[in-house]
Chains A and B, each alone.
Chain A
């Protein structure tokens, strides 16, 4: 008989996989029980849903005829554009705000007013301004921008002052300190911001697509299926969303951990 060994890497891995599998099976059973008790079309049974999922993967959207790949690519490309835009804008602004106390004091009220607004609240406005596709991109942008910005500002203000002192006694100018000390020491905080931002951004993209993007997007598919009353199909779309979200945040988590280790810091 195999015995479980806490210090064996593979044993630990197998145990994690087993626990996760059992947990997922239990979840599906629970879902089934709930759908039986509720006895409502809006909560389909797991089996129907999986059937619809397989159908979605193989044959695409029965209404529009678009394939799942088209939907996913559409969502991901909007997501990526929103993310890159947020990064490109939050990074310089965060570095400036973190560095200059007075500018920060001046701009802080703006941030505090805008930050708590749910990104999705902007969706109708952005769609009106930029059209369906770019509108969704901007909703993602807003969702990622604030966690990124606040993390960068935090990182800059958290810098170890003695590192700046050391740089000065090694002859560094303010500009050199900014480039060679401040920016690298902010990187782990930036990664943390990206991690948080991606999670929120992913929720935003799907929500923004619920406003119906004619050219696809997985959120649109879900919304459309619900209007047709095709609930198993809608749930299949939700599963796709969940898996993709898990993958994006998992990737971000992995990269962030690698970077932090490489930079010799833990945030």
Chain B
């Protein structure tokens, strides 16, 4: 969390001649399908004046390179908390998060994050938002321009490159958020209910577009959602959490090729099974 830690991480990148805007290069030696990130024994306790609440208890997960993992769980469980710990925005009470052989203790551009409420800078244009991380990493101007435009095109916003954020619809805003994160080539992308603030129709379109983007360029993504449907549509694996204190109930492999068919009987059957479990968890709480 402190300033010095960020600096040390920056120095590490320099030593290996990798810039903060290309942290995926740090892990080139790890082959696709091997463990890239590992989370072990994560425990998060919130302390308030009156009591201690255990939000997450003993959460461990190995994320393979190029994998898309969704985390679902009953509402109010520590899905977002887990993601914030990985991002370095929250210090876990116990547990260790490593990418390759590096331990993550503070926020860094190697773990890009897409936020539910977009978190875009309202005083910047679309392009300036996408360029933000590259400005921080001191990417040469020409390269930054070229890369920003490439990603803006990839999310279909080339006509809006110079628009301001308040001129965009919710779906467009989140596409800016995705481009801003992807352009940095982070080793891992964390997505915190990225489509949660969108209407159902936009949501489906965004899921489809995300599928296209991830099949084109292999990215390692950890995706938090409360929609089982969304998780099954997008992921290679779905992690199901128990209610608070959250721990892993079950990890479900999703074998089907993309793009997926939501009407497929296997799809609906699996969705029903997971939903039933979540339902049960919610009922138990009452």
Contacts and interface: CB of A to CB of B under 8 A. Distances in A.
Interface stretch (A60-68, A127-135, A159-167): A159-167
Contacts of A20: none
Contact of B113 (A163, A165, A175): A165
A265 B166 CA distance: 8
A39 B37 CA distance: 89
B136 A170 contact: yes
B112 A168 contact: no
A84 to B, nearest CB: 24
Interface string A156-181: 00001011011111111111100011
A162 B117 contact: yes
A59 to B, nearest CB: 50
A264 B165 contact: yes
B260 to A, nearest CB: 29
B119 interface: yes
The SS class assigned to the A binding surface is helix
Chain A interface size, as a band, is 20 to 34
Interface stretch (B27-35, B62-70, B103-111, B223-231): B103-111
A198 B274 CA distance: 62
A263 B88 contact: no
Contact of A168 (B88, B123, B190): B88
Contacts of A181: 121
Given A168-B107, A171-B184, A162 B119 contact: yes
Given A165-B89, A165-B113, A171 B108 contact: yes
Interface string A239-258: 00000000000000000000
A184 interface: yes
The SS class assigned to the B binding surface is mixed
B164 interface: yes
B254 to A, nearest CB: 27
Contacts of B184: 170-171
Contacts of A263: 122-123
Nearest to A170: B133
Given A169-B112, A171-B137, A264 B123 contact: yes
A45 to B, nearest CB: 52
A185 interface: yes
Interface string B1-30: 001001100000000000011000000000
B264 to A, nearest CB: 35
A102 interface: no
B114 to A, nearest CB: 9
Contacts of B107: 165, 168-169, 171
Nearest to B135: A180
B136 A176 contact: yes
A262 interface: yes
A263 B122 CA distance: 6
Contact of A170 (B122, B165, B166, B180): B180
A170 B112 contact: yes
B160 interface: no
Interface residues of B, number: 33
A185 B136 contact: no
Interface string B148-166: 0000000000000000111
Contact of A187 (B87, B119, B123): B123
A167 B166 CA distance: 19
A145 B164 CA distance: 32
A167 B108 CA distance: 9
Given A184-B123, A263-B123, A264-B123, A170 B164 contact: no
B123 A265 contact: yes
B115 A165 contact: yes
A180 B129 CA distance: 11
Contacts of A262: 123
B4 to A, nearest CB: 10
A265 B115 contact: no
Contacts of B267: none
Contacts of B120: 166
B285 to A, nearest CB: 28
Interface string B239-278: 0000000000000000000000000000000000000000
A162 B135 CA distance: 19
A264 B132 contact: no
Nearest to A165: B89
Contacts of A173: 3, 6-7, 136
Contacts of A176: 136
26 contacts: A163-B119, A165-B87, A165-B113, A165-B115, A167-B136, A169-B87, A169-B108, A169-B111, A169-B112, A170-B184, A171-B6, A171-B20, A171-B108, A171-B136, A171-B137, A171-B184, A172-B136, A173-B7, A173-B136, A181-B121, A184-B121, A185-B121, A187-B123, A263-B122, A264-B122, A265-B122
Given A169-B113, A170-B133, A170-B181, 14 more contacts: A165-B115, A166-B115, A168-B107, A169-B107, A169-B108, A169-B112, A170-B112, A172-B136, A176-B136, A187-B123, A262-B123, A264-B165, A264-B166, A265-B123
